[in-house]
Amino acid sequence: MGKSSSFDDWADSDLVCSGNGVCECNNCKCHPPYFGRLCEYCNQGEKNCTGQCEEYQDCVQCLAFGMGPIPSQECQGKCSDILTLQTVPSIGDTSGDYCSVTDGKGCRIYFTYRADNEGVLVWVQSERECPKPVELLYVVLGVLAAVVLLGLAILIVWRVVITIHDRREYQKFLIDQKNATWSENQNPIFRPARTTIANPLFGKKID
């Protein structure tokens, strides 16, 4: 994959030499640590260089995994700055600037890149690190456990409230009993077994 950049790329732009250098005799003289024909490259490890992980991540997703915001049929055209891209089991043994980005599915993509005057060399870790899916069984068990615990909590609270209420009523009964004014031999609720009924007509002459 060749590099298609030329001075015409920024002819209509206000950023001469990508804003990282000056043009002298139709050639870019780059400010350190930038380099390249248009001063478009910068090694992330250098001081005052922010790196280009975000710039390359869309092309890495498209070229390595066939996904991302760039349609697969447009990868070659829009990612012409990437000279070669190689997938490897691990990027630990590769050289270049380290990048870790997140794709649209929440997975981590790891890659390293090294830029020179010819283009960008990229090594991509072949396996993305995606969050483990939540097991449906665990979700159901968790919901059931939460319902059971909530029910137990309600029962415990109800029992505590009833116990407190009963104790207050018992204490009130003891206080009322202590403050009673009747004698010990008198039962305030006693009613004699004998009942006397007065006849309103007794002693009156009935015609």
Task: Write down the domain spans for the chain.
Answer: 7-125
pLDDT tens for the 207 residues of the chain, in order: 333 344 444 443 446 887 778 899 988 888 877 777 777 666 555 545 656 788 888 999 999 999 999 998 898 888 888 888 999 998 877 877 788 888 888 898 999 888 777 778 899 999 998 888 777 778 888 899 999 999 999 999 999 999 999 999 888 888 877 776 655 556 666 676 777 777 777 766 665
The residue ranges of DSSP E strands in 25-131, in sequence order, are 27-30, 34-35, 41-42, 82-88, 97-102, 108-115, 120-125
Distance CA 137, CA 142 (A): 8
Structure tokens at 38: 């248009």
> Comparing C-alpha atoms, which of 13, 45, 49 is closest to residue 31?
49
Output the pLDDT for position 160.
Answer: 93
Q: How much is the pLDDT for 124?
A: 93
Report the SS3 class of residue 59: helix
pLDDT (0 to 100) of residue 151: 92
List strand residue ranges (DSSP E) for 103-183, in order: 108-115, 120-125
Buried/exposed 108-144: b ≥16 CB within 10 Å, e otherwise: ebbbbbbbeeebbbbbbbeebeeeeeeeeeeeeeeee
- Asked if residues 125 and 91 have their Cβ atoms less than 8 Å apart, the reply is yes
pLDDT at 13 (0 to 100)? 42
The residue count for the chain: 207
